[in-house]
Structure 1
Amino acid sequence: MPPSWNGWALPAPRWKIHLLEREATMALSLEESRRELQERQGLGARYDALQAPHADLALARLGAAYFARKLNELSDADLALPSRVAGWSRRHVVAHVAYQARGLARLVEAARQGRGAERLEEPEAQIEEVDFGASLPAHALRYLFHHAQIHLNVEWRDLQDAGWRASIESLQGRLVPIRETPWIRARAIWQAAVQLDNGASSHHFPQALSQRLGAEAGVDALSS
């Protein structure tokens, strides 16, 4: 029962009014806050959808930045040296993660366009064999990685909530839940950084990534 004097309710203390006003302000929904930010920064900026897997996207993007840093530390001559993957040079590792980004971008694009399957717009121009990529000139190989990564990020950011709930058939005939694509990328790009064999280590992995990789390894061990 509110405090009163002679049966009349007393007005709330000023500090309490300020507290209630502050709580009301903080209670703005995430969607409203996101909309306000978009309005301030203009129509040209891109944002992930509200229902996108934000934690996995963060891991994937952080991993891409880490891989890019390790790649930039290598000279063109260094790229020809062996990686930690048997039979592969560092060039092969770079080509592999670049082509993976291309493939994931096509899956996300299919979801964005409302299609049920991945497709190649110009199949004859899409040579995505790792050996071919590894044979490219160094500047072209570096460009391949950076361009593919940017394209994947654009597709993720342009995807609306409905697209994140879709599953798309890959060129190999496998049904891929689009919501899993950021984790697929995160897992591959962080491990590829280590495979470059120029100082990257699993000790540099974010804790969330290490824990999830450990959990997956445990499940694989139990099922084998």
Structure 2
Amino acid sequence: MSRTFDDTRRWVRFGTDLMLRSVGGLDDDAFAASSALPGWSRAHVAAHVAANAEALSNLVHWAATGEPTPMYASPERRAADIEQGRALPSGELTAWLRRSADALEAGMTALGEERWSARVVTAQGRTVPATEIPWLRSREVCVHAVDLATGATLADLPPDFLTALCDDAVAKRATAPGPALTLRAPTAVWELPGDGEPAVVTGELHDIAAYLTGRPAAPLTVDGAPAPALGAWL
């Protein structure tokens, strides 16, 4: 993948700012409105992102101290935290979102250079170096800022982030069943192994990113047909 550690730190700051601007001024009714994620309100999305910051702060603590600190106590606790958070008044939910993001940023800034190579375990059970933490966070804040459906779109995200997001999504999808694809954006091409002859799917970079991550998109095959349906991204 083409992303660097410095890239991911920059994208975290960009995405956090976009997320906070996207919720700025939302009242209780606006938070209760539907997000772009089926079955989730904007408050669900905001609570999920706040809880994610706290979970990734656990991994920063793990890297800093060597003390195993899982992201979440359990899947049930994770879901319960989101449900509790989405019921908060708008001011409290926004404050939690900002406070948790600030704490994570402070923890990452304080982490010594030698500790970034420490191994930690993600919520999906993957063992990764701590240098992956900013990438995990940048993905959360950038994509979910768009999912809030308050005006930001994938086209507003940095092109190099979108390229890295497509790299990541293709790598994940290559390990699961699905159609074979050649994905062509103006600045990059991806080959996704799968079933059958590869369908050639074209679109703008943000359209390809939306398609690969299960967001609304309209990329087409070269013969003008809709792109093949894909399974879940994460």
Q: What TM-score, normalized by structure 2, do the two folds share?
A: 0.66
In proportion to residue count, which structure has more helix?
A: 1
Alpha carbons of structure 1 residues 128 and 178: separation in structure 2 relative to 1, 3 Å: farther
1:1-224 to structure 2, matched below 5 A, reads: 53-118=5-70, 129-169=81-121, 174-224=126-176
Q: Summarize the Cα distance change of 1:139–1:73 in structure 2 as closer, same or farther, 3 Å threshold.
A: closer
CA distance in 2, matches of 1:171, 1:221: 18
Residues 175/138 of structure 1: CA separation in 2 closer, same or farther (3 Å cut): same
User: How many matched pairs?
Assistant: 170
Relative distance call for 1:216 and 1:145 in structure 2 (3 A) is same
Q: Is the 8 A contact 1:169 1:176 kept in 2?
A: yes
How far apart, in 1, do the equivalents of 2:90 and 2:107 lie?
A: 26
Query: Can you give the 5+ residue segments of structure 1 that lack an aligned partner in the other structure?
Result: 1-51
**Which AA in structure 2 matches 1:179?**
T
DSSP-derived class of the 1:223 partner: coil
**Which one has the bigger strand percentage?**
2
Report SS of the residue matched to 1:107.
helix
* Per-residue deviation, residues 145-180 of structure 1 (Å, max 9, x unmatched): 011000000100110012100112457755342110
Flag the 1:128–1:98 CA change in 2: closer, same or farther, 3 A: farther
Q: Which residue of 2 aligns with 1:48?
A: none
Q: Distance in 1 between matches of 2:174 and 2:124?
A: 27
Q: What secondary structure is seen at the aligned counterpart in 2 of 1:149?
A: helix
Q: What secondary structure sits across from 1:168 in the alignment?
A: strand
User: C-alpha separation between the residues in 1 aligned to 2:134 and 2:103?
Assistant: 13
Q: Which has the higher contact order (CA 8 A, sep 6+)?
A: 1
Gaps of 5+ in 2: 177-234
Structure 1 SS opposite 2:120: strand
Query: TM-score, with normalisation over the residues of structure 1?
Result: 0.68
